[in-house]
Amino acid sequence: MSRFEEISEPKTCPWCGKTTGKFTQQIECPAGEPYTGNARVLSRKPRHRKPQNEVDIDILRITHDLFRDFHYGQFDTLRCAEEFANAAYRAGYQIK
Ligand SMILES: [Zn+2]
């Protein structure tokens, strides 16, 4: 699965009307230690005794208040792009 790109303004699919979601990331932080980054923390959950190093960590979901771009240009899915293209063609749009 490919990674979403970050965009500053949300997009809306012109076919189905779906809008882009918030771009979030998951990071690890030592248990109980305050987060000092410049993102906004959406949630924090403890994960006890990570097997590799036996250190308790917290899992933080953070956001820079940016949005996830669609994978298909202006469209959220390939199906929407296909249906839009066919509807445009039926409506008389052609590239000459
Ligand atoms: Zn769509």
How many domains does the chain contain in total?
1
Reduce the DSSP state of residue 40 to 3 states and report it: strand
| CB-CB neighbours of 70 under 10 Å | 21
**Residue 96 maps to a domain:** no
**Residue 1 maps to a domain:** no
The 10s digit of each residue's pLDDT in 6-25 is 899 999 999 999 999 999 99
Domain that holds residue 68: 6-90
Q: How many CA atoms lie within 13 A of 58 on its CB side?
A: 15
Any idea which residue has 């956001």 for tokens?
63
The 10s digit of each residue's pLDDT in 33-72 is 999 999 999 999 998 765 666 778 899 999 999 999 998 9
**Residue 72 maps to a domain:** yes
80 C-alpha to ligand 1 centroid (Å): 5
Question: From the CA atom positions of the chain, what is the Rg in Å?
Answer: 20
**Residue 62 maps to a domain:** yes
85 C-alpha to ligand 1 centroid (Å): 12
Give the separation between CA 56 and CA 64, rounded to whole angstroms: 25
79 C-alpha to ligand 1 centroid (Å): 8
**Residue 11 maps to a domain:** yes
88 C-alpha to ligand 1 centroid (Å): 15
